Amino acid sequence: MPTTGTTKSTTSAGTAKQRKVADCRLFPSEKNCSLTIAGTEEEVLEVAVQHAATSHGHKNTPELRNQIKAMLKDER
Ligand SMILES: [Zn+2]
């Protein structure tokens, strides 16, 4: 029988969503922007798309969203 009983307490924390980081320095832009956005993938995408649109003049398109999604990194 596997000893899953002892790991039960840690599974609640383990199921927490992996936080993602969007680093604006990795995103091509004319500005020297050093903003980083951290949170769940949904949160980061939402804010990053808005930031790209308002601060960098990108068009808020599904394509932009995909580009940002592609450059998300796992938070450590
Ligand atoms: Zn930026």
Amino acid of residue 49: V
For the whole model, what pTM was predicted? 0.73
pLDDT in tens, 10-37: 555 555 779 999 999 987 767 789 999 9
Q: Rounded to 5 degrees, what are φ and ψ at 23? A: -105, 115
Report the alpha-carbon distance of residue 70 to residue 47 in Å, rounded.
15
Distance 67 CA to ligand 1 centre (A): 14
- CA 74 to ligand 1 center in whole angstroms: 19
CA–centroid distance, residue 48 to ligand 1 (Å): 8
Q: Where are the alpha helices (DSSP H) in the chain?
A: 8-14, 41-56, 62-70
Amino acid at 28: P
The four Cα atoms 45, 39, 20, 46 give a dihedral, to 10 degrees, of 0
How does residue 54 score in pLDDT terms, banded at 50, 70 and 90?
very high
- The ranges assigned to domains in the chain are 17-74
